[in-house]
Structure 1
């Protein structure tokens, strides 16, 4: 008859109990009983563990199969993600190429539209005429900057030298802001009935705006005024913001402030139109350096051939700069310069000195 697992252990313990009973010792018998009970508990726990292991095996196999299947799916998804990443990079490259093509096409269309809508006389699309127009634009913008500056400082006038110098710097800063705002404003569209000669013929720029209310100049004045004239400056000059509201609706108020602005805006607008015409003439001719407007970067060393100091350098200071005894750098550009072929009109800059580790404005 086959023995159950652990039967030999039980028989051995039974013999041990019988041996301990002779001669009879109660303490030893009790100890032997405890040993038998502990061994029986161990055998029962071992049997339970074996039974549970046989039941868990299939479940472990199922879970392992699931893990392998999930790992395979993860590898497949990683491959799909890598393929999508390559496709995304290809599409981004194509999108950038198409964006550059759209920008070039838009610029070409704008130049073509400007050429069709504005009949610029050929005698005006020359380097000499452009330089003359640039000088006139600089003068008009300077006069308008002086008007804005005077409106903001008349209430706090002072004869102190430091205050006077601060006012001059503020005027230069206003002029620099006006130039940047007008150069960044769009030249606007226009109708086929407007021509460059017709817009520039009236002495008063407001008359030109009244005669050509849908011209590119009208749209340019609206965009440039809102960008160049800050609400604070308008409130200081006019004590209200009525100009801003009227201009934003497409109107052109006949006031002293807006008349000065319109004169400056028409000069800058004409300059930009002539620059576009000269650039196209250079490109069609296949030669020349074209037309280029330039700024002096902040911190650049002063170069007399490309820069003009405001205020002008004294004779002694000019000599020290030429001999290298003193180095001046640019604080900011007041008026941009222009280069037409070999002709260079220097930009006007506010200079500063560098002494003992700090920058001091002249």
Structure 2
């Protein structure tokens, strides 16, 4: 029997193997696999995982929404709270403003506002304690609350502005009243000063005793002396201008090399000259060293105090007419001849007749000499008072171009005239009014600064 070829009857093993491999490959690609008779796909498993994640995200989203809602409600509650407090503050400010001046209607309206807002605050407190915050429309609630707060603040500022305006009006009325009082006091002082000047008396108490003398009395007399010095200097300058004098040249002759910040400051040079001549020898009892014998110190003080007391109550012209050879008369004669140069007198008055009368020991009754004698009397009284004090007052002046010191000096100008932006310290050009020392007390000298 002929043999049969097996490949022609039964499929070959290799072909079957290839077929099975293809089936498994398809299952692997489609995700179909036999598990206990049930088939599960990979796509189903993926959908299940996505659903789990979506469920978790939904819970987190709801939780965040609840937090945001609670926070918005809290913010709205706080806005209402602060708005109500601002309203209470505005009502209290209105209540205060309505009390002065008294306004019954304003007080009642402010009281109702405050009571109403206190009730509102009480309701807000109860809502907070019961955790019943209004969360229906927190954005709108917060906006309305902020608007209410701004209105309350604006009202408070308006009330404060009205209050400040009323205070300003009150202060202005007080200033006007004080200015009127000051003007009345100045007029009264001028009348008193005019009466004192016309009478030739000093504003020193009549009951003044030697034991009660002090630096303050000396300063009072010094101030009046300076006033009379400046009165005489003004009269002298006026006479020089009428006579056609070159005042710049005259001032330069007195204080050479000084540059004045103002043309009117030339008068300080003439004041310096008059003071220098009038106070020359001030530290000596008789304005000159070795002139006459001196009594013992207690008697010397009493002597000068008696002269001061006698002379301060008398008019200068009457005293000189009655006692032309007195110490004051001799002082006036010597100082007039020293201050008024013959050339000056001849230029001012056209002759030397007045000078000749003074030289003879008499005192002419002219306006020029009368003004001079009033000044001389004040210097003489100041000198008598200086030797009546314990310790005795002494005179001093500072050298030109020395450094300015606020302890010993004061400027005759209201402000120091210094170059703008300069760092140089002011220097003394010359002394105008001398200074004085009374023990440890210093009466500043007046200087002109360069």
* TM-score bin (small chain): 0.5 to 0.7
Equivalent position to 1:220, from 306, 331, 335: 331
Aligned residue in 1 for 2:136: none
- Partner residue in 1 for 2:311: 199
Give the structure 2 partner of residue 182 of structure 1. Answer: 278
- 1:167 offset after TM fit, Å? 5.2
Distance 2:309 2:420 in 1: 46
2:400 is paired with a residue whose SS is coil
Note if contact 1:148-1:233 (Cα within 8 Å) is conserved in structure 2: no
1:173 aligns with 2:264: no
Which residue in the other structure is 1:208 paired with? 319
Is contact 2:243–2:348 with CA below 8 Å preserved after alignment? no
Say whether the 8 Å CA contact 2:307–2:384 is kept in structure 1.
no
Report the Cα offset of residue 145 of structure 1. Answer: 1.2
- Note closer, same or farther for the CA distance 1:318–1:341 as it changes in structure 2 (3 Å cut): farther
1:308 is matched with which residue?
410
User: What RMSD in Å do the two structures reach over aligned CA positions?
Assistant: 3.4
Q: Secondary structure at the match of 2:413?
A: coil
C-alpha distance in 2 between matches for 1:233 and 1:201: 33
Q: Determine if the alignment matches structure 1 residue 136 to structure 2 residue 224.
A: yes
CA contact (8 A) 1:234 1:241 kept: yes
Aligned to 1:256: 367
Equivalent residue for 2:297? none
Residues in 1 aligned to 2:212 and 2:380: alpha-carbon distance in whole angstroms: 14
The answer as to 2:243 corresponding to 1:147 is no
Q: For the Cα contact (< 8 Å) 1:151–1:236, is it kept in 2?
A: no
How far does the alpha carbon of each residue in 1:6-47 deviate from its partner, in whole angstroms, 9 at most, with x for none?
xxxxxxxxxxxxxxxxxxxxxxxxxxxxxxxxxxxxxxxxxx
Q: 2:214 aligns with which of 126, 132, 137?
A: 126
1:327 aligns with 2:425: yes
Contact in 2 for aligned 1:187/1:219 (Cα 8 Å): no
Contact 1:121-1:197 within 8 A present in 2 as well? no
Residues 168 and 154 (structure 1 numbering): CA distance in 2 closer, same or farther, change over 3 Å?
farther
SS for the counterpart of 2:216 is: helix
Structure 1 residue runs without a partner (length 5+): 1-119, 283-289, 353-362
Q: Does 1:349 align with 2:437?
A: no
The equivalent of 2:398 in structure 1 is: 296
Question: Using CA pairs below 8 Å that are at least 6 residues apart, which structure has the higher relative contact order?
Answer: 1
CA drift of 1:154 comes to: 3.7
Distance, in Å, in 2 between the alignment partners of 1:233 and 1:163 is 24
C-alpha spacing 1:332/1:277, structure 2 compared with 1 (3 Å): same
Partners of 1:309 and 1:184 lie apart in 2 by: 22
Q: 1:337 to 1:319 in 2, by over 3 A?
A: farther
Q: Any conservation in 2 of the 1:295–1:333 contact (CA below 8 Å)?
A: yes
Deviation at 1:266, TM superposition (A): 0.6
- Once the two structures are TM-superposed, the CA of residue 157 in structure 1 deviates from its matched residue by 9.5
- Residue 299 of structure 1 contacts residue 329 of structure 1 at CA under 8 Å; is this kept in 2? yes
Paired with 2:226 and 2:243, the residues of 1 have a C-alpha distance of: 27
What is the number of equivalent residue pairs in this alignment? Answer: 214
Aligned-pair CA distance for 1:234 = 2.2
CA separation in 2, counterparts of 1:240 and 1:263? 23
Q: Distance in 2 between matches of 1:207 and 1:351?
A: 41
Going from structure 1 to structure 2, the CA distance change for 1:224 and 1:328 (only over 3 Å counts) comes to same
* Structure 2 equivalent of residue 78 of structure 1: none
Distance 1:121 1:229, change over 3 A: farther
Which residue of 1 is the match for residue 379 of structure 2?
A: 268
> Quick one: structure 1 residues 302 and 198, their matched pair in 2 at CA, closer, same or farther if it must change by over 3 Å?
same
SS at match of 2:364: coil
- CA 1:254/1:164 → structure 2, altered by over 3 Å: closer, same or farther? farther
Distance 1:335 1:299, change over 3 A: same
- Residue of structure 2 equivalent to 1:338: 436
